[in-house]
Amino acid sequence: MVHNETQNNDFETFKSTSTKSSNTTYFDPKQATKYLIGADGLSAEEMMDSRKNGGLTYNDFLILPGYIDFPASEVSLESRITRNIVLKTPFMSSPMDTVTETDMAINMALLGGVGVIHSNCSPDEQADMVRKVKKFENGFITDPVCLTPNHTVADVRRIKAQFGYSGIPITANGKLYSILLGIVTARDIQFHEDDTTLLKDVMTTDLVVAQEGVTLDEANQILRSSKRGKLPIVNSRGELVSLLARSDLLKNLNFPLASKSPHSKQLICAAAVGTRSDDKLRLRKLVDAGLDIVVLDSSQGNSLFQIEMIKYIKKTYGDNLDIIAGNVVTREQAASLIEAGADALRVGMGSGSICITQEIMSVGRPQGSAVYKVAQFADQFDIPVIADGGIQNVGHITKALALGASAVMMGSLLAGTTESPGEYFYHEGQRLKKYRGMGSLDAMERHATQGTSGKSNDNNAAKRYFSERDVVKVAQGVAGAVVDKGSIRKFVPYLISGLQHGLQDIGAKNLKRLRDDVKGDKIRFELRTASAQIEGGVHGLYS
Ligand code: IMP
């Protein structure tokens, strides 16, 4: 152990302040902190020395606690996730067709993160999802089911049975952005026995409406005083643009953390594309729909195709579109993509819960080492890094951020929520939703089984993992199911709060402080033996 000068001086003080009791000499307890020699645990650099410790992942280590002088609620989780985009919470949802479509992307953005819309669908379908996120206004229903005056009472009853909606706006052509003519409410048809009656004969035409541009507060006020069930919002031409429902009044909470573009105030939206030439056309549609961040979705990002794609995107869209390139796990891979112009890197190969890449391809890297090494390298160029895959709990998020990531990307943790695509089903008494790897055979065959446009070039999952010329497909992922986790509106706040408590225990009031103190060796780590891992989990309970 090295004694420096201060410590020697401390030792002198010790001699003058120590007390003797029988044969043992004690230091003055009031000066205990002065007698700390060296620091407990390992620095991140010492821990991540792969020659000594091998490749590490989240369960292999712990962060040692620091000093708390602030409440957990004051911990800021703000983070820059690409060169130009800062979020209030460092969470991203994976571009997977069982994780992120419109609903997930809207709710992730409302809660301060961002959703990455998958590309395992036609370019038009993907662009449509991006458009819905960008056009979303909290509280306003922007895609209400509408009917024409020539639909019948039976149609209203069918919609009520199928979706539960009872106030249906009637427009000239039965679509949004068409002249609003009336509204049919449950009361209009409650005692109506003839199902074939046309809606023009039963609809309410004495309407209370609000003009486009009205704020949510103003619209709620109008809704309250009008005593109606629905408030249609119309533009200057009298066309329906959205709807507000009384039943949603209490649900229209504020979202103070929402991720919004500074200029348009619209929610921030990300989407994945591949690196083939037809992905350039796909990207054009996504950008026209308002895309903020493009994620180049490749399991091994260090390729000529990706480098050319990055250069093409930078040349075509300049700084209007941030690129998250990847995936990478080594500094060498990272260097190529940074040089090409990436605005952030996505790190992870083989760490995903549904991933079998490491077994099948024999390539990849334990996720803790991958995040640390790439983040350390990228930091020199001020390029943020996103830890993608392998996040099984909130503690893993804290660890990924401590290793230098600016955000985490989650698949399994967000699958099985109300906002993830797909229907719930029951198996052995459990309520489940499907979750599958995009490299699973199940996902590759989506276009054939799920009725998208059916063209093979619409299916980007196949391109992420296979060459189109592959005759025999080798799956890199599996398909399974995860249990119902409820809504991310409750789950993400839990993750936020868990992360704030983790940072409080470490003694870091914000993520910059966390990273700086790890870099400065002030935050310390310890490796966990196999038995330490067992000790750290729940054990010894009867039930
Ligand atoms: P999870 O959060 O551990 O479930 O991992 C999700 C991540 O796994 C995604 O963001 C992708 O990077 C990755 N991934 C998705 N599908 C596959 C696959 O089929 N094989 C390998 N990795 C996948």
Query: DSSP secondary structure string, 455-522?
Result: -GGG-HHHHHHS-TT-SS----B-EEEEE--B-HHHHHHHHHHHHHHHHHHHT-SBHHHHHHHHHTT-
Which of 126-130, 214-218, 478-482, 487-491 has the least mean pLDDT? Answer: 214-218
Least confident of 190-199, 364-373, 504-513: 190-199
- Please name the amino acid found at residue 39: A
Q: Is the CB of 416 under 6 A from ligand 1?
A: no
Whether pLDDT at 6 is above 50 = no
At 493-508, the pLDDT tens digits run 999 999 999 999 999 9
* 168, 219, 238, 325 from 230: Cα distances, Å: 9, 10, 16, 44
Domain that holds residue 169: 153-254
With a cut of 50, say whether residue 365 has pLDDT above it.
yes
- Region 89-100: mean pLDDT is 97
Query: Looking at the structure, do residues 373 and 291 belong to the same domain, yes or no?
Result: yes
- Please indicate, yes or no, if residue 115 is contained in any of the structural domains: yes
Has residue 7 got a pLDDT over 80?
Answer: no
Instruction: Decide if 46 is inside a domain.
Output: no
Atom of ligand 1 nearest to the CA of 390: 3
Name the domain boundary from 221, 254, 287.
254
- What does the mean pLDDT of the chain come to? 89
Band (187; pLDDT cuts 50, 70, 90): confident
Containing 288, the helix (H) or strand (E) segment is helix 278-288
- The answer on whether 438 is annotated among ligand-binding residues is yes
The answer to whether position 148 is within a domain reads no
Residue 393 has pLDDT above 70, yes or no: yes
Over residues 166-171, the mean pLDDT reads 90
Q: What is the DSSP string of 3-53?
A: --HHHHHHHHHHHHH-EEETTEEE--GGGGGGG--S-SSB-HHHHT-HHHH
Q: Give, in order, the Cα–Cα distances in Å from 201 to each of 161, 428, 449, 478.
A: 21, 49, 42, 54
Q: Is the pLDDT of residue 109 over 60?
A: yes
Q: Is the pLDDT of residue 8 over 60?
A: no
| pLDDT given for residue 312 in this prediction | 97
Residue 18 pLDDT grade (very low, low, confident, very high; cuts 50, 70, 90): low
Domain count along the chain: 3
165: pLDDT strictly greater than 80: no
CB under 8 Å to 104, separation ≥6 — which residues? 93, 115, 414, 417, 419, 420, 421, 488
State the closest ligand 1 atom to the C-alpha of 389, by its place in the atom list counted from 1: 5
Indicate the residue among 254, 273, 291 that finishes a domain: 254
Q: Which of 251-255, 523-527, 530-534 has the highest mean pLDDT?
A: 523-527
The model's confidence at residue 21, banded by pLDDT at 50, 70 and 90, is low
Report how far ligand 1's centroid is from the alpha carbon of 414 (Å): 12
Q: Could you identify the atom of ligand 1 that is nearest to the CA of residue 348?
A: 12
Q: Are residues 290 and 224 in the same domain?
A: no
CB of 120 closer than 6 angstroms to any ligand 1 atom: no
Q: What percent of the chain has pLDDT above 90? A: 67
- Indicate whether 109 and 157 sit together in one domain: no
Pocket lining: 297 vs ligand 1, CB cutoff 6 Å: no
Nearest-CA residue for atom 13 of ligand 1? 352
CB 302 within 8 A of CB 337: yes
Q: Is 298 within any annotated ligand binding site?
A: yes
Tokens, residue 281: 């056309």
299 within domain boundaries: yes
Calpha distance 398→515 (Å, rounded):
11
Q: What is the position in ligand 1's atom list of the atom closest to the CA of 439?
A: 19
Residue 129 assigned to a binding site = no
The confidence score (pLDDT) of residue 251 equals 61
Q: How confident is the model at residue 464 (pLDDT cuts 50, 70, 90)?
A: low
Whether 414 lines ligand 1, by a CB cut-off of 6 Å, is no
Q: How many angstroms is it from 361 CA to the middle of ligand 1?
A: 15
Clarify whether residues 76 and 178 are in a common domain. Answer: no
Ligand 1 centroid – CA 388 distance (Å):
8
Q: Confirm whether 173 is domain-assigned.
A: yes
Q: Is the pLDDT of residue 114 over 90?
A: yes
26 phi and psi angles, rounded to 5 deg = -110, 145
Task: Give the per-residue pLDDT at 282.
Answer: 98
478 and 491 co-located in one domain: yes
CA 412–ligand 1 middle distance (angstroms): 8
Residue 407, pLDDT score? 98
* 192 confidence band (pLDDT: 50, 70, 90): confident
Question: How far, in Å, is the centroid of ligand 1 from the Cα of 390?
Answer: 8
In angstroms, what is the span from residue 478 Cα to ligand 1's centroid? 10
- Verify whether ligand 1 is closer than 6 Å to residue 290 (CB atom): no
The answer to whether the CB of 149 is under 6 A from ligand 1 is no
Answer whether 507 contacts ligand 1 (Cβ < 6 A).
Answer: no
| 325 and 210 co-located in one domain | no
pLDDT > 80? residue 457: no
Give the separation between CA 431 and CA 428, rounded to whole angstroms.
9
Regarding whether 335 and 432 lie in a shared domain, the answer is yes
> Average pLDDT for residues 163-172, to the nearest whole number?
85
Out of 238, 254, 270, pick the residue that ends a domain. Answer: 254
If one residue of 295, 345, 438 were mutated to test the ligand 1 pocket, choosing by the most ligand atoms within 8 A of its CB, it would be: 438
pLDDT at 454: 36
Residues pairing with 115 in the sheet:
93
Best CA proximity match to 508, nearest among 34, 67, 9: 67
Q: How does residue 250 score in pLDDT terms, banded at 50, 70 and 90?
A: low
Q: Are residues 271 and 122 in the same domain?
A: yes
Lowest-confidence segment of 120-129, 219-228, 267-276, 424-433 by average pLDDT: 219-228
Q: Mean pLDDT across the stretch 256-268?
A: 86
**Catalytically annotated residues:** 355, 464
| Residues 284 and 419 grouped into a single domain | yes
Range in 67-71, 375-379, 529-533 with the lowest mean pLDDT: 529-533
Q: Assign 233 to helix, strand or coil.
A: strand
Q: Binding site annotation covers 146? A: no
Q: Is the pLDDT confidence value at 52 over 80?
A: yes
For residues 496 and 398, is the Cβ–Cβ distance under 8 A? no
Does the residue 378 lie in any domain?
Answer: yes
Atom of ligand 1 nearest to the CA of 346: 12
User: Based on the domain organization, do 302 and 158 belong to the same domain?
Assistant: no
Residue 469 has pLDDT above 80, yes or no: no
Q: Average pLDDT of 378-387?
A: 98
107 CB within 6 A, ligand 1: no
Establish whether 299 is an annotated binding residue. yes
**Rounded mean pLDDT, 329-354:** 96
CATH number (domain holding residue 89): 3.20.20.70
Q: How confident is the model at residue 355 (pLDDT cuts 50, 70, 90)?
A: confident
Q: Is residue 65 part of a domain?
A: no
Q: Do 250 and 264 have their domain in common?
A: no
Average pLDDT over residues 396-419: 97
15: pLDDT strictly greater than 60: no
Name 357's bridge partners.
none
The answer to whether residue 540 is domain-embedded is no
Asked if residue 300 has pLDDT above 80, the reply is yes
pLDDT at 474 over 50: yes
Q: How far is the CA of 448 from the centre of ligand 1 (A)?
A: 22
CATH number at residue 161: 3.10.580.10
What is the length of the chain? 543
Number of other CB atoms surrounding residue 359 within 10 Å? 10
Joined together, the tokens standing for residue 334 give 């990272």
400, 468: one domain: yes
